[in-house]
């Protein structure tokens, strides 16, 4: 129900924009740096004779054709001016290249199929790409977990609003709680202290979310809006207001990327760009974007460490009641006047 979602957004102080009419220089610079890094390509991508392009790695003619298209794109003058990438991300792309190109190939096959395929067919190649990006080079010290589907508890609001939302894909930072004793009498108390209640004895903090739908429209964007709002309210309950949290929604292989952050006691959500994963250059760029999200998560990890039990319990209480506060006086500063769709229930701007 679009009207109910609009009311939920108002209640939760969430504002979705197609363009940013209220500049926030600090956040915008952080986003610009990430997007610049996303557009960068390793030098080997431009070399058609690179060992990473060898037939043994790209066994099908279709993948080799996409590889040649990618190499030609990388040799464009505007690409040569971009900075290079870190050795780790360069190696990650080299290892993931067959998966990236296979994602592109499969999405084109599905798109050209004579019979219409259901949403899971579109979702599987994208999930493989996300899993590859988020798991390469991981070790236990980072405590990151990618889940292809998960239920996220929403803060307590009003009975007519949902109590939870299910995300199609999530990257979590898993912070172990203090208590090491998993005796039955301690499990309940421990679950109460892990304010974003997932699996004992861990606290799961949302770092990135992705949503899929067969057709693009307000439903998939509304779902992602709820995911990003959860991520930001989790941080606020822990006293963290400076993080930019990213998310994406996909329909028929086209991914739209969004950024969210706190601005004047409200959550601002901005659409950054759209990438068609049926094109090899866009599929690679999306992979590099996911790697940048992973790098940002590692940099932010220290802010979630050493959480005392008292801090967790206080955060739980704050999270549960966080959407009951009245709207801030400056809410009007964030009204979205950039409607690019016809008025009605399916408009993003009406929804937010």
- In sequence order, which ranges of 77-217 are alpha helices (DSSP H)? 77-80, 87-111, 119-135, 184-193
Rounded mean pLDDT of 247-267?
91
pLDDT in tens, 168-202: 888 888 765 545 555 444 444 444 434 454 444 56
Query: Number of folded domains in the chain?
Result: 1
Specify if 342 maps to a domain. no
**How confident is residue 342, by pLDDT bands cut at 50, 70 and 90?**
very low
Residue 40 predicted with pLDDT over 90: no
Q: How many CB atoms lie within 10 A of CB 46?
A: 17
SS3 label, residue 311: helix
Nearest to 5 by CA among 160, 152, 150, 159: 160
Average pLDDT over residues 30-57: 84
Q: 175 lies in a domain?
A: yes
Does 82 fall in a domain?
A: no
For residue 193, tell me if it sits in a domain. yes
Q: What is the pLDDT of residue 343?
A: 33
Give me the pLDDT at residue 299, please: 86
21: CB partners within 8 A, 6+ apart = 336, 337, 338
On whether residue 334 sits in a domain, the answer given is no
pLDDT at 285: 94
C-alpha radius of gyration, the chain, whole number: 21
Task: Give the pLDDT mean for 2-9.
Answer: 77
**Structural domain span for residue 226:** 2-29+117-323
User: Edge-to-edge, what's the strand order for the sheet holding 169-176?
Assistant: 14-17, 266-276, 254-263, 245-251, 202-213, 169-176, 144-147
Q: Which residue has the higher pLDDT, 193 or 4?
A: 4
Cβ(351)–Cβ(221) below 8 Å: yes
What is the pLDDT, as a whole number, of residue 194?
40
- Please give the pLDDT value at position 287: 95
pTM of the full structure: 0.81
Three-state DSSP state, 255: strand
Query: 155 or 160, which is more confident?
Result: 160
The two structure tokens encoding residue 22: 């209220």
**For residue 94, is it within any domain?**
no
Instruction: Calculate ∠ Cα 67-208-286, nearest 5°.
Output: 15
Asked whether residue 225 is assigned to any structural domain, the reply reads yes
| Per-residue pLDDT at 260 | 93
Q: Is residue 40 part of a domain?
A: no
Q: How confident is the model at residue 298 (pLDDT cuts 50, 70, 90)?
A: confident
d(Cα 214, Cα 220) in Å, to the nearest integer? 9
Q: What percentage of residues in the chain have a pLDDT greater than 70?
A: 71
Q: 134-148, 208-222, 285-299: which range is least confident on average?
A: 134-148
Q: Name which of 47-51, 86-90, 202-206 the model is least confident about.
A: 202-206
pLDDT at 210: 92
Q: What is the pLDDT of residues 100-127, one digit of tens each?
A: 999 999 999 998 876 777 777 888 899 8
pLDDT at position 308 over 90: no
43: pLDDT strictly greater than 70: yes
Residue 290: band (very low, low, confident or very high) from pLDDT cuts 50, 70, 90: very high
The pLDDT value recorded for residue 334 is 37
Q: Specify the pLDDT at position 265.
A: 82
CA-angle at 6, arms to 123 and 332, nearest 5°: 120
219-234 b/e with 16+ CB inside 10 Å = b? Answer: bbbbbbbbbbbbbbbb
Of the candidates 120, 217, 202, 103, the one whose C-alpha atom is nearest the C-alpha of residue 169 is 120
Query: What pLDDT does residue 196 have?
Result: 53
At residue 339, the pLDDT reads: 35
């Amino acid at each position: 129900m679009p009207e109910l979602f609009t009311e939920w957004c108002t209640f939760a102080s969430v504002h979705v924009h197609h363009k940013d009419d209220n500049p926030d220089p600090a956040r915008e610079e952080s986003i610009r740096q990430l997007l610049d890094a996303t557009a960068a390509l390793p030098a080997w991508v431009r070399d058609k004779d690179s060992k990473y392009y060898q037939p043994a790695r790209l066994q099908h003619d279709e993948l080799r054709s996409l590889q040649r298209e990618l190499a030609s794109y990388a040799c464009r003058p505007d690409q040569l001016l971009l900075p290079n990438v870190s050795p780790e991300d360069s190696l990650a792309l080299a290892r993931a290249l067959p998966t990236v190109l296979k994602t592109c190939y499969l999405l084109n096959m599905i798109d050209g199929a004579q019979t219409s395929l259901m949403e899971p067919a579109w979702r599987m190649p994208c999930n493989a790409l996300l899993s590859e990006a988020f798991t390469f080079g991981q070790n236990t010290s980072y405590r990151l977990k990618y889940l292809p589907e998960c239920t996220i508890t929403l803060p307590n609001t009003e009975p007519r609003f949902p109590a939870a939302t299910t995300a199609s894909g999530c990257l979590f930072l898993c912070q172990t709680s203090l208590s090491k004793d998993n005796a039955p009498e301690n499990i309940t108390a421990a679950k109460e202290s892990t304010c974003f209640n997932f699996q004992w004895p861990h606290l799961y903090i949302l770092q990135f979310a992705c949503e899929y739908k067969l057709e693009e429209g307000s439903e998939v964007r509304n779902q992602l809006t709820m995911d990003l709002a959860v991520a930001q309210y989790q941080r606020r309950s822990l006293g963290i207001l400076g993080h930019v949290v990213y998310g994406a929604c996909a329909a028929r292989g086209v991914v739209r990327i969004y950024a969210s952050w706190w601005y004047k006691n409200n959550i601002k959500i901005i659409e950054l760009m759209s990438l068609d994963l049926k094109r090899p250059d866009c599929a690679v760029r999306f992979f590099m974007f996911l790697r940048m999200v992973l790098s940002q998560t590692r940099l932010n990890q220290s802010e979630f460490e050493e959480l005392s039990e008292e801090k967790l319990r206080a955060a739980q209480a704050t999270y549960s009641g966080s959407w009951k506060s009245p709207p801030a006086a400056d809410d009007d500063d964030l009204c979205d006047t950039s409607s690019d769709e016809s008025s009605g229930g399916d408009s993003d701007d009406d929804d937010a």
